[in-house]
Amino acid sequence: MALIDSNTGKTIRSYSIQELRDAANLMRGYDLVALCAAGSGHSGSTLSIMDIAAALYLHVAGHDPKNPSWPHRDRILWSAGHKAPALYVALGFAGFCPLDDVVTLRKLYSPFQGHPHWLRLPGVEVSSGSLGQGLSVAVGMALAARIDGKQHKIFCLMGDGEQQEGQVWEAAMEAGNYHLDNIVAVIDRNRLQIDGWVKDVMQVEPLADKYASFGWEVLHTDGHDMQQLVETFARARATTGKPTVILADTVKGKGVSFMENQPGWHGKAPNREELTAALNELGVANLIPVEQLLEKAKTYQAEVDLKLAAKMPGFKRDYWWNAGDTMKVQMEPTRKGFGKSLAENGGDERVVCIGLDISGSITIADFYAGKPERANRWISMGIAEQSATAAAAGLAREGKLPVLGSYATFSAARNLDQLRVSVCYGNFNVLIAGAHAGVSVGADGATHQALEDLFAMQGMPNMSVVVPCDAIETRKATDYLLLKHVGPKYIRFAREATPVVTSESTLFVFGQANVIRLRAETANFAEGFETRLASNYATESEDLTIVAIGPMVPEAMRAARILKLDYGYETRIVNMHTLKPIDSDAVIRAARETGVVITAEEHQIGALAWRVSSLLTESRKLYGQSIITGAIGVKDRFGDSGAPWDLVKELEVSAEHIAQKALELMAIKKVCWVRTSVAGLTLDQLISRASAAQQADAEVTAAR
Ligand SMILES: Cc1ncc(C[n+]2csc(CCOP(=O)(O)OP(=O)(O)O)c2C)c(N)n1
């Protein structure tokens, strides 16, 4: 087996062991150049798996780069999707795609997404990124091959930390039960995961005994010895009657001394100096056109910038964050507020924090950092979101105040049934953190961007949901939810730094919205606004309302600035930090008093928009009153890799998009107000009058 011409059956190219070694080394170089150009990504384990990737793609697997969907090809699944760059350079070396293009890794619109997506890049078998699912997919493919009488193999690449996911063992049981000898699983056993050594985070060994007990053939190899690797793959191919797992001992960061065995290099890309040092160590500095590749990445990003600029609604001035003297704002990641609160309130002996192998970056580790006396209340569960969620219910049943968190996609989606039955049905006092939510994980791509979590979280009876707007509000919300609120509670916050628009003195009252009003154009953007509890706010007959949650609150404030300065419109911003229970009075009053309501959410449209619509539909106070509504949010699509602020533009969740929608609705409002003259008009006529009014607004702007 090797690279095959599927038409003739002839070998396209065969590699000697030495050529495979050299290729793997060069692939490591290309991998690091792409990571450096991306500015983020996974150095450590793309280096640990590179010899395995070279052996598989260039020698072991039978496949045709010119015919990626050849039905008889061997399939290679990357269950560990974060190692995508290693997959991409392997595809490049094998001829599936131009190797140089891999340097557009993690940029907007690139086929080289942060995690692999088979619909974007030929040669990728399935999309992955949520750990622990690949072996189940392999079982399905293996069963399909058996039904169809096909002879190909299905290789499935996993990490050792990944073995902590329960689903892996369900799939192992299935493969053993059905004697799926067409499956070859490979475990990149580098013994590290994000939070540290696998044995310290959650022991998975003895893996050999575990797989053997499920009816698997277990093979061992040094994952960096090319000769051994190739021989082990040959033995796996020859195994009959049962599936095979190859335990490949590897070193995370292999080949670059300062990355080897360093947990800090798991999710980090080298900077320019580190890249040079790494390429020198690998001995490939002169074999790769580094400058040319980095330039290519820059040119690609410049084209993306132009495309995005062309798509953005334009206004008289540049109102982007920190653009002019009056748009100055401090930026801080909201997750910092979560960590601060846990550090401050974690002294309460009832608080127990659960680690899910992403503890530093989501700041849950701040609970115990520098506080050894809390060590017994820190429980590392590894990459096992489902079991940890039910365990949290158990802790709560015994009077503890458990806190668990991960990327929102894993802490509020992967574990949905456990949340529903074990936590919510039992009405337990569990705090769930949906960290890195929305587009803020940027370059990681669609698999890691939670854009749907709020549907399910607010849909579950007993669950309360808070979506704070900045780091300060996140701290206050966590203070409240952790110690004062009783029952299941979900807090959603972001990874990227976002504007700080509240202050220590801004009120945060659970379940009660705040009204924010623009008062002046100040040098410090946030200081130009006044905030009051919605229940204490008396109408100022504003032109329109924007109801916003989370990071869309600062965007709504920016939109209010655009609407006031360019068009003279007054906006009532409702910061609906508590999505559930929602402050219905604040919504209905705003609708009645302004007649125009726009919702703004950094989520699929509906978590906020449909909730607000249902309030408007249900309310008797609005009988007979026409309310003009609009919704800003993600429009039923997955995200993409890219810089977070690029994604805000691409997914149309910026202040500019809110303002554009507001102008459209204000034009309708103007027409509706001259009701007598519109009686009897068709909808088309109404819309055409509205666009004439909008045009008139544009002329006012132009004339200024
Ligand atoms: C379900 C799920 N939970 C959490 C993550 C975040 N995550 C990405 S990589 C990783 C650690 C993986 O460790 P391991 O399997 O040992 O791989 P390696 O160390 O080789 O990178 C985690 C927790 C994820 N991608 N999917």
What is the residue-wise DSSP string for 606-662?
Answer: TTTHHHHHHHHHH-GGGTT---EEEEEEE-S----SS-HHHHHHHTT-SHHHHHHHH
Residue 385 is a catalytic residue? yes
Q: What is the pLDDT of residue 359?
A: 96
Q: What is the pLDDT of residue 674?
A: 56
Instruction: Give me ligand 1 centre to Cα 347, in Å.
Output: 30
Please return the burial class of 687, using the count of CB atoms within 10 Å of its CB with bins 0-12, 13-18 and 19+: middle
Relative to the CA of 188, which ligand 1 atom is closest?
A: 20
How far is 291 from 655, CA to CA, in rounded Å?
37
- Write down the catalytic residue from 165, 385, 555, 601: 385
Instruction: Give me ligand 1 centre to Cα 22, in Å.
Output: 28
Positive or negative torsion for Cα 478, 482, 485, 491? positive
Instruction: Give me ligand 1 centre to Cα 524, in Å.
Output: 40
Instruction: Give me ligand 1 centre to Cα 226, in Å.
Output: 25
The answer, yes or no, to whether residue 482 has pLDDT greater than 80, is yes
Mutate to test the pocket of ligand 1, among 194, 249, 252 (most ligand atoms within 8 A of CB): 194
More confident residue, 40 or 695: 40
The amino acid occupying position 435 is A
Residue 634 token pair: 């993600």
How far is 250 from 229, CA to CA, in rounded Å?
11
Mean pLDDT for all residues in the chain:
96
Query: Whose alpha carbon is nearest atom 8 of ligand 1?
Result: 82
User: Using one digit for the tens of pLDDT, what is the confidence trace for 25-83?
Assistant: 999 999 999 999 999 999 999 999 999 999 999 999 999 999 999 999 999 999 999 99
Q: What is the pLDDT of residue 296?
A: 98
Residue 229 token pair: 């690797």
Relative to the CA of 115, which ligand 1 atom is closest?
A: 25
Query: Whose alpha carbon is nearest atom 6 of ligand 1?
Result: 358
The answer, yes or no, to whether residue 679 has pLDDT greater than 70, is no
Split at pLDDT 50, 70, 90, the class of 245 is very high
Instruction: Give me ligand 1 centre to Cα 552, in Å.
Output: 29
The answer, yes or no, to whether residue 343 has pLDDT greater than 70, is yes
Mean pLDDT, range 156-170, rounded to an integer = 98
User: Using one digit for the tens of pLDDT, what is the confidence trace for 379-424?
Assistant: 999 999 999 999 999 999 999 999 999 999 999 999 999 999 999 9
CB 79, CB 131: distance < 8 Å: yes
How far is 237 from 220, CA to CA, in rounded Å?
14
Instruction: Give me ligand 1 centre to Cα 131, in Å.
Output: 6
Pairing of strands 244-249, 183-189: parallel
The answer, yes or no, to whether residue 682 has pLDDT greater than 70, is no
SS3 state of residue 480: helix
Query: Whose alpha carbon is nearest atom 9 of ligand 1?
Result: 82
User: Using one digit for the tens of pLDDT, what is the confidence trace for 80-139?
Assistant: 999 999 999 999 999 999 999 999 999 999 999 999 999 999 999 999 999 999 999 999
The answer, yes or no, to whether residue 702 has pLDDT greater than 90, is no
Mutate to test the pocket of ligand 1, among 51, 52, 131 (most ligand atoms within 8 A of CB): 131
Relative to the CA of 414, which ligand 1 atom is closest?
A: 1
The answer, yes or no, to whether residue 209 has pLDDT greater than 50, is yes
Q: What is the pLDDT of residue 304?
A: 98
Instruction: Give me ligand 1 centre to Cα 581, in Å.
Output: 34
Percent of the chain with pLDDT over 90: 94
Query: Whose alpha carbon is nearest atom 19 of ligand 1?
Result: 193
From the list 185, 190, 201, 203, the residue with the least C-alpha distance to 250 is: 190
From the list 433, 377, 392, the residue with the least C-alpha distance to 410 is: 433
Relative to the CA of 191, which ligand 1 atom is closest?
A: 16
Instruction: Give me ligand 1 centre to Cα 149, in Å.
Output: 35
Max CA distance (Å), the chain? 86
Please return the burial class of 622, using the count of CB atoms within 10 Å of its CB with bins 0-12, 13-18 and 19+: middle
Query: Whose alpha carbon is nearest atom 16 of ligand 1?
Result: 161
How far is 653 from 333, CA to CA, in rounded Å?
18
The answer, yes or no, to whether residue 701 has pLDDT greater than 70, is no
Q: What is the pLDDT of residue 676?
A: 43
Residue 643 token pair: 């810089």
Positive or negative torsion for Cα 606, 607, 609, 611? positive
CB 316, CB 701: distance < 8 Å: yes
Query: Whose alpha carbon is nearest atom 17 of ligand 1?
Result: 159
The amino acid occupying position 343 is A
- The DSSP 8-state label assigned to residue 433 in this structure reads E
Percent of the chain with pLDDT over 70: 97
Positive or negative torsion for Cα 112, 115, 117, 118? positive
Within 248-384, residue ranges assigned H as helices are 272-282, 290-311, 335-345
Please return the burial class of 372, using the count of CB atoms within 10 Å of its CB with bins 0-12, 13-18 and 19+: exposed
User: Using one digit for the tens of pLDDT, what is the confidence trace for 363-382?
Assistant: 999 999 999 999 999 999 99
Relative to the CA of 130, which ligand 1 atom is closest?
A: 26
How far is 56 from 664, CA to CA, in rounded Å?
56
Query: Whose alpha carbon is nearest atom 23 of ligand 1?
Result: 357
Relative to the CA of 448, which ligand 1 atom is closest?
A: 25
Pocket of ligand 1 (CB under 6 A): 45, 48, 80, 82, 129-132, 159-162, 188, 190, 192-194, 252, 266, 357-358, 383, 406, 410, 414
Query: Whose alpha carbon is nearest atom 25 of ligand 1?
Result: 130
Relative to the CA of 358, which ligand 1 atom is closest?
A: 23
Instruction: Give me ligand 1 centre to Cα 576, in Å.
Output: 34
